[in-house]
Structure formats: structure tokens, C-alpha cells
Amino acid sequence: MMANMAMVEQGVPRRVWPPLLHQVVKTVRARGLFEPGQHLLVAVSGGSDSVALLTLLHRLLPQWRLRLTAVHFNYGLRGNESEEDQSFVMSLCDSLQMPLHCVLLDVRTRPKRVSLQAQARELRYRAMAELAEDLGVDRIAVGHTAEDQVETILLWMLRGTGLAGLAGMPAQREGMIIRPLYDVRRRELLTFLDETRQGYRQDSSNAKPLYTRNRIRHELVPVLSRIAPAAINAFCRMGDLCREDDRYLDAQAKRLGPSLVRPGTDGGYSIDRHSLQAEPLAMQRRLLRELFRRMHPTRRAPTMATVEAVLGFLSSKVIGERHSAGGVRVRVTPSTVCVQPAGSVAAQSEPAAAVAAQSVRIPSVIEWAGTGQRIRVQEGAPAEAAHQLSGSRGWAMIVDADRLSQPLRIRSWRAGDRFVPSGMKGRSKKLQDYFVDLKIPLSQRRRIPILEAPEGIIGVLGFRQDERFRVSDSTRRCLVISIDEVSTTEGVH
């Protein structure tokens, strides 16, 4: 009797789950968002969506053996209202006996041309990633619904987006950010909260027509729903279709890239001009966008105007240097297109200084100073690792964790380094010779991140992994090492 009471106190038994909880579990399983026994960091603003998310996940505690930690961000922009939001979340988490982290974020100082909402979102996601790393959580859960997906797609449509924008928000981003309410309508959440008599806060700024997203929510979406009652579902379905098409085209561009693109000096690249122009226009755009993203300090994708400007240089008969938007210098020769970060200084023969080595915890996210890349290391069973690998939009590799020992670290190339490149049938190769084969200049080699264990080099990140640590049928525990691509096709939520 006491055991049954404990289960009721911690969460509702499965046989009396509300229909909404069954729907959320269906989404979690179908989209591989998280597994039983994992630790989730749940973002809770106090609004209806995040409160519903927190209470629904709390009901899964007994059956799924979850560990939940909440986080609330206070921007201090609405005076007493912000403080009351935080007090409400503190009271809610206390009633659920759930640990809570309250974080104060200052969004009043921000770069020019960056909106308040965009700055708040950037700070929020960065703070969540840092807290997740400190706590060692497996996933970060946010409360975006089907309506949020539609608003994001419409927002990008109005900006003249391509496939990436039409895909909207993914249910899982970078293997860490998850959206369990991805397939849930907002009205279903409100009904659930009303039936369970669960209170929530209402953000007064959400009703003001000051932001484009708010106008889309309150003016455009209702009109579309009156014209086509199934509009929300149709937009969400379109988002899923566009995301798969976008992933396929990205994969094609990655396969094509090595035959056209060569690393140049000072972090730049050279492209075979005629081969690039022979490709379909869609592929040209993707290849250029990827190169510009690599050179941006935060891995941000360029605007369409930047890409179109470079394509204009390609078709021009004028040979010489041009400057495009986005802080990238473009130089066109009769046979090549060279792209470099603006202000870079050629140093073709001088080797770069070694970048300080960094220890690697599992899981962790590491900012590699040599290239500005964000490197993520995650652990999981083979099935989970395979899902993480398939969800990665950047370069990634998967290795057998039981073939490695600690400590792991990321460091620069050193003279005499050897590894066994995958696909070489067990033959080792000097890393110096490997770089020469790829035509990577001496000035760039020490910027490339190398992951190593006491047993040897695990992989040259961004290029090739070591054959000795590949997974096999007997693998029980995996590491997924990926290089993140920071997306700008997400909304301002």
C-alpha cells in the first residue's frame, strides 16, 4: 500500500495517464528524444507551455526512472512581473520536489542590429549548454509546440528563406536540445492544465504587437486557420518534409566538397572555379554557405545576399579581389575562387603556434580555439549513439568507448604523430604525410583538433577517425564525437 502511494505521489500510474501524456511519449519514442533513466534539464519560464512540459515529464518519473532538473531564466525586463515569474517557478518546483537553478541574464547590452529577442535567445541557449555540461545532463528539454513550429516557418518565409528555414525547428537539435511537445497543439496543453488545475503565468509581452512573431501568432495564424482548418498540421508536415530534403542536399554537398575545395592559408579555402560552376546552382549555394560558416567566429551561416554576391563574382569576367558581406574576403582567379576571413594575413610557410591542449570530460562540449569549432563528446549505447550520429548536421564519428581509457584530450598536431586512418586496412600513416596528401599547408596544421587517448590518436577531427577504435558487433558502449554547426534557421524562441 505504501509503495503504491509513493508511486502516486511521484507520478501518475500509466493506466491513468492523461491522453496528452501518451501523445508526448509517442513523440519521444518516435523521434528518439530521450531514453529511460536519463537526466533532463527542463527550461521553465512559468508560461503554459513550459509548465505543462515540466508537469508531464514529472509524471513519467516512476516508469521512466528519469532525473529532472529545472532551470529558469530571469531577464529582469518586466520589473515585478519578472520577479513574480521566478517566484512562481520556485514554488512549482518546490511542490514537485525538483531541483531548480535560477539564472539572471542581462540582455540590455547587445550588438547593434541584434533584436532583444534574438539576444535573449542566444544568451539562454548558451547558458543552458553551460549548465548542462556542469550538471552532466543527457538532454535539455524546451517547451515548443506545433504552433511554435508554424510561427517559426512563417517568420522565415517572410524573410525569403530556403529549405532550411522552411524546415523550422527540429524535434532534436545537435543531439542535446529536445522538444517533447513538438507534435502537441497549444489548445491541448491549455486543456490539460485546466483539467489538472495547474496554474501558470502569462507573459504580458507576448500579447504586444511589437515583435513580428507576436503579430504572426495573433494575426496571421488565425487567418490561415480560418482559411484551412488543418493549416497547423499542414505546416508541421511541410517542415518535416523540408528537413529531410535539406539533410539530403547537405549530405550531397559534403560528399562533393572534398573534390572541389582545398584548405588554403589563414583559415581560408580555394575552390576549383570551373568545377563549381558546373554544379547545379543549389549545390553551388550550399558549398559556398558551408565555407562561409566555417570561417565565421560563431559558425554562423551567411545571408543569402552574401552567397549571391559571391556567385555574381563567379559569373563576372573581372578578375581580382572583391569584398562581400559577412566578413569574408573573396578573390577570383581564372581557375579558382579563394575565400579568406577579412583581415587575414598570408603566412604560407610559417607554421601556426600549437593550440593549448584541452582535457575532455564525458559528456562535454569544447570550444577549440584553433578553428573556433564547437566539439561535442557524448556517450551512449550503440542504438542511441547511432541516432546521435544520424542527427548530427556537421562532421561526426562514432568509436568503441571500451577500447579507450582515460584521460582523453584534444590537442594540436605534433611532429612524429601517427594514426591508422579508417579505410587503410590497418596500415598506419604519419599525420604529416596525411596532411600533405590533403594539401593542407603547414600554417594550418596545428589548428586542426586531434582527439587522443593513452592508446593513441582517436581521430583527426573534421577529417578522419582511427581504424583501431571503430565500433563492431561486440561494441557495448560508444562515444560520439561531433563538430557542431550552429544553426540560424531557428526562430527567436
Task: List, as one string, the DSSP characters of 456-487.
Answer: EEEEETTTEEBGGG---TT---EEEEEE----
Interstrand relation of 478-483 and 373-380 (parallel, antiparallel or unpaired):
antiparallel
Which distant-in-sequence residues (6+ apart) come within 8 Å of 104 by Cβ?
A: 73, 74, 75, 76
Q: Give the pLDDT of residue 37.
A: 94
Distance, CA of 75 to chain centre: 23
pLDDT of residue 343 exceeding 60: no
Q: What is the mean pLDDT of residues 324-353?
A: 64
Q: Give the pLDDT of residue 345.
A: 44
Q: Give the pLDDT of residue 298.
A: 53
pLDDT of residue 354 exceeding 90: no
Identify which has the larger pLDDT, 333 or 16.
333
Cell numbers describing residue 37:
533513466
Q: Give the pLDDT of residue 493.
A: 39
Identify which has the larger pLDDT, 148 or 302.
148
Q: Give the pLDDT of residue 326.
A: 56
pLDDT of residue 80 exceeding 80: yes
Q: Give the pLDDT of residue 118.
A: 73
Which distant-in-sequence residues (6+ apart) come within 8 Å of 264 by Cβ?
A: 270, 338, 339, 340, 441
Q: Give the pLDDT of residue 487.
A: 34
Q: Give the pLDDT of residue 274.
A: 87
Interstrand relation of 429-430 and 418-419 (parallel, antiparallel or unpaired):
antiparallel
Most confident of 145-159, 265-279, 308-322, 435-449: 145-159
Q: Which long-range contacts (CB under 8 A, 24 or more apart) does 224-231 make?
A: 231/150
Q: Give the pLDDT of residue 324.
A: 55
pLDDT of residue 169 exceeding 90: yes
Q: Give the pLDDT of residue 280.
A: 93
pLDDT of residue 51 exceeding 80: yes
Q: Give the pLDDT of residue 81.
A: 87
Q: Give the pLDDT of residue 150.
A: 96
Cell numbers describing residue 109:
547590452
Q: What is the pTM of this model?
A: 0.66
pLDDT of residue 321 exceeding 80: no
Q: What is the mean pLDDT of residues 341-361?
A: 65
Of all residues in the chain, the percent with pLDDT exceeding 90 is: 38
425: Cα within 13 Å, side-chain hemisphere: 0
Q: What is the mean pLDDT of residues 359-376?
A: 84
Identify which has the larger pLDDT, 208 or 336.
336
Q: What is the mean pLDDT of residues 402-411?
A: 90
Q: Does residue 296 contact residue 303 with C-beta atoms inside 8 Å?
A: no
pLDDT of residue 13 exceeding 70: no
pLDDT of residue 207 exceeding 70: no
How many angstroms separate the CA atoms of 389 and 174, rounded?
A: 9
- The 10s digit of each residue's pLDDT in 455-465 is 899 999 988 88
Average pLDDT, the chain: 82
Q: What is the mean pLDDT of residues 93-98?
A: 95
Q: Give the pLDDT of residue 2.
A: 31
Is domain 358-483 given the CATH code 3.40.50.12280 in the classification? no
- Backbone phi, then psi, for 453, in 5-degree steps? -120, 175
What is the number of other CB atoms lying within 10 angstroms of the CB of residue 181?
Answer: 29
Q: Give the pLDDT of residue 271.
A: 87
Identify which has the larger pLDDT, 178 or 161.
178
Q: Give the pLDDT of residue 230.
A: 94
Tell me where in the chain the CATH 3.40.50.620 domain(s) lie: 2-242
Distance, CA of 301 to chain centre: 13
Q: What is the mean pLDDT of residues 251-264?
A: 84
Most confident of 67-71, 169-173, 200-204, 293-297: 67-71
Please tell me the CATH code under which domain 266-341 is placed.
Answer: 3.30.465
Of all residues in the chain, the percent with pLDDT exceeding 70 is: 81
pLDDT of residue 10 exceeding 50: no
Tell me where in the chain the CATH 3.30.465 domain(s) lie: 266-341
pLDDT of residue 450 exceeding 60: yes
Asked if the bond preceding 407 is cis, omega within 30° of 0, the reply is yes
Lowest mean pLDDT among 62-71, 120-129, 434-443: 434-443
Q: How far is CA 291 from CA 160, 257, 335, 458, 477, in A?
A: 21, 10, 18, 25, 34
pLDDT band at 231 (very low <50, low <70, confident <90, very high): very high
How many angstroms separate the CA atoms of 469 and 160, rounded?
A: 45
How many angstroms separate the CA atoms of 270 and 337, rounded?
A: 6
Tell me where in the chain the CATH 3.50.40.10 domain(s) lie: 358-483
pLDDT of residue 9 exceeding 50: no
Identify which has the larger pLDDT, 326 or 412.
412
Q: Give the pLDDT of residue 270.
A: 83
pLDDT band at 5 (very low <50, low <70, confident <90, very high): very low
Q: Give the pLDDT of residue 109.
A: 58
Q: Give the pLDDT of residue 485.
A: 47
What is the number of other CB atoms lying within 10 angstroms of the CB of residue 108?
Answer: 10
Please tell me the CATH code under which domain 2-242 is placed.
Answer: 3.40.50.620
Burial 256-276 (b: 16+ CB within 10 A, else e): bbeebbbbbbbbbbbbebeeb
